[in-house]
Structure 1
Amino acid sequence: MTTLAPPAPAPAAAQETAPAPGRARRRRPARIRPGLVAAGAVVAVVLLAALVPDLLAPHDPLEISLSESFAPPSAEHVFGTDQSGRDVYSRVVHGARQSLVIGIGATAIGLAGALVLGLLGGLGGRIADGAVTRVIEVLYAFPGILLALILIAVYGNSAVTQMVAVGLATMPGYARMVRGQVLVVRGSAYVEAARALGHPPVRILLRTILPNAFRPLTVLVTLGIGQAIVWAAALGFLGMGVQPPTAEWGAMLNAGRTYIQQAWWMDLFPGLTIVLFTLSLTVLGRHLQRATDAGALR
């Protein structure tokens, strides 16, 4: 009769590194990213300026003082003054509301039109999908800024016209993504399972297809607001946006380009604000995209 040898003891290194039973694993602390923190701070300051501009602006943005025209940056006027003696810093702060309203409004208009086209193309059958595809291709054939210029030239300069023009210019990109996502989700296994369980089509659309199809748009909207603000500022720079004396970043760039050699600060600080804010939105949008792809927000 043979006897079994006792099992060999585990190596010392394995015994030392093996975690004790029941010991909870410690999570590594989240690493602080300076770029992400800086981007969040910039966005927070701009949102604060848009909500309560009088809290940050020391002067009336429309107050004219010809005796202080073209005053360079100083302790009293940190961004200098413009050709009418108005404080540039106060105008930048008050312009945040106008620029954000145009950017958010244009993004909302673009998304609304994109949802209609995307859902019609993704759920409407082959004929409807072909028609939607042709519409998107036609809109893509026109440069976005050109389409916006045509609409503003026809309907005039106003904040509403600017929002509609920029929204229509950004709509094709949103519509193509919505259509693609709806097509992917419609053929997924969980939609087929919902149909097999006898769920009505309306419930499948509202509870299954729409939430999963629109999830990637949260990242795209974050980036789209920054793009809409840049386009609105470009229209304002060309004199096709909000008209003076309204404080708006693009209109301030348009007013300052005439005096660029005499008063460089009139263009520098509004332009720098646009760059910093859109860059911060891009950083936050990319972080949100990475967190969404990972399956959980950090």
Structure 2
Amino acid sequence: MTILAPAPEDTAPAQAPQAAFRPARRTPLHSPGFCLALGAVAVVALAAVAPGLLAHQDPLEIHLAESFDAPSLQHPFGTDQSGRDVYSRVVHGAGQSLVIGLGATAIGLLGALALGLAGGLGGRFADVAVTRVIEVLYAFPGILLALILIAVYGNSAMTQMVAVGVASMPGYARMVRGQVLSVKGSLYVEAARSLGHSPLRILLRTILPNTFRPLTVLITLGIGQAIVWAAALGFLGMGVQPPTAEWGAMLNAGRNYIQMAWWMDFFPGITIVLFTLSLTVIGRHLQRATDSGAAR
């Protein structure tokens, strides 16, 4: 009788299951949209700092014989009613528009810091007073408040900058006040007080940095809004006056010739739209990066 031996067991060690390949998670700041928007802002910044590198023609040089020339190789954006190169004026106008946008944002932010810190640190009476001031400023649409200030103090780049800055102040002030009220009751501020730090040191080293950090995204978006408001004032003829190259003033000059020379309004307008859109994209990606960093 034949006895069959059991089949030999497989003594080879079992292989551990291989982990599935997981691609590296792309952060919001590495997305193509963010890089493209950052590149567009960099080009505008280069045009503001060194316009001669991008445009070689004088933006104020008049050639009446070349008036209303359509876009061509010699004039990529065409010419205006005085024969001036529109491309050169758009490039040189970047500096004027960017200075107004940055200056207005800085003015609005400084005023908002003063109001927000006074309301957040000054006690109940100061908080109520600051809240009422913010509500009064909010009662006026931003562009209307800027128009009132320009009507009172006249047309100039500085007046336009101050007017847009004051108009943007309520939004910053409300966020600063909320952040100060949130930060001053935190544990690390209480710890700084228990260590005997002076109120000024606590303000400069603890409260202000933690108050200013969430404003980064709002500031990025605010620069674009300030440029749009400045262009709107220039379009209404209450901003920088011609022949200065400024995007809003160029829109104002081209609206009378929109049917015969569409390029006079199209190229400054599309530049404003693309630049503002780029700043918005950067601001949104910074917000997502901040949120994802906080979630970790």
Aligned to 2:242: 244
Cα distance in 2 between the residues matched to 1:17 and 1:89: 58
Q: How many residues align?
A: 280
Q: Secondary structure at the match of 2:81?
A: coil
Superposed displacement of residue 259, structure 1: 0.3
The CA deviation at 1:41 is: 1.3
TM-score by length of 2: 0.91
**Match in the other structure for 1:222:** 220
**How far does the alpha carbon of each residue in 1:233-276 deviate from its partner, in whole angstroms, 9 at most, with x for none?**
00000000000000000000000000000100000000000000
Q: Aligned runs of 1:80-119 on 2, under 5 Å? A: 80-119=78-117
1:148 is the counterpart of 2:146: yes
Question: Which deviates the most, 197-206 or 78-87?
Answer: 197-206
| In 1, Cα distance between equivalents of 2:68 and 2:270 | 19
Residue of structure 2 in register with 1:48 after alignment: 46
Write out aligned runs for 1:156-175 (5 A).
156-175=154-173
* Aligned pairs for 1:1-298 within 5 A: 12=14, 15-17=16-18, 28=24, 30=26, 32-295=30-293
Question: What is the Cα deviation at residue 195 of structure 1?
Answer: 1.9
What 5-or-longer segments of structure 2 have no aligned partner?
A: 1-12
Post-superposition Cα deviations, 1:136-166, rounded to whole Å, max 9, x if no partner, equal: 0000001111111111111110000000000
In structure 1, the gaps of 5 or more residues are: 1-10, 20-25
Partner of 1:6: none
Instruction: Report the RMSD for the aligned CA atoms in angstroms.
Output: 1.9
Deviation at residue 28 of structure 1 after TM alignment? 2.0
Query: d(CA) in 2 for partners of 1:169 and 1:106?
Result: 9
Q: Which residue of 2 aligns with 1:4?
A: none
Cα distance in 2 for partners of 1:160, 1:136 equals: 23
1:8-38: CA deviation from partner (whole Å, max 9, x where unpaired): xxx947x33479xxxxxx9827475222121
Q: Aligned residues: percent identity?
A: 80
* Partner SS state of residue 60, structure 1: coil
* 1:202 shift after superposition: 1.9
User: Aligned pair in 2 of structure 1 residues 29, 172: CA closer, same or farther (>3 Å)?
Assistant: closer
Q: In the alignment, residue 28 of structure 1 is paired with which amino acid?
A: A
How far does the alpha carbon of each residue in 1:66-90 deviate from its partner, in whole angstroms, 9 at most, with x for none?
0000000001000000000000000
